[in-house]
Amino acid sequence: MALAGVKVIELAGLAPAPFCGMILADFGAKVIRVDRTKVFTTMDTQARGKRSVAINLKTAEGVALLRNLCVQSDVVLEPYRKGQNFRNPTLL
């Protein structure tokens, strides 16, 4: 596989990030999807080949855990528009 050994962290969101993560997983990357803790489960067609972890990003422990995952990864995919980030409570 072309991307074997590459670790990707994907912050769950809409459209581009999950699709990109799915393609990277298809090419052999290890993709870990970070979901919010209270997410309604629906059939996710773009979860193929990914692992998933639920983290509450509204707590200091959750943010620290996500930062630790990001430090250990090669790529971070985030779906937020310019100027926004995962700590903005309006996005969580």
Set out the domains of the chain in order of their start, with CATH numbers.
7-77 (3.40.50.10540)
Cα–Cα distance between 60 and 25 in angstroms, integer?
A: 29
- The residue with tokens 């980030």 is 85
Confidence at residue 41, expressed as pLDDT on a 0 to 100 scale: 55
In this prediction, residues 1-25 reach a mean pLDDT of 88
Compute the C-alpha angle 39/88/72, nearest 5°.
75
Q: Give pTM, 2 decimals.
A: 0.78
Q: Percent of the chain at pLDDT above 70?
A: 82
Q: What is the DSSP string of 7-49?
A: EEEEE--STHHHHHHHHHHHTT-EEEEEE-SS------TT-TT
- Is it the case that residue 90 has pLDDT exceeding 60? no
Write the pLDDT tens digit of every residue in 18-60.
Answer: 889 999 999 999 999 998 776 555 556 778 889 989 898 888 9
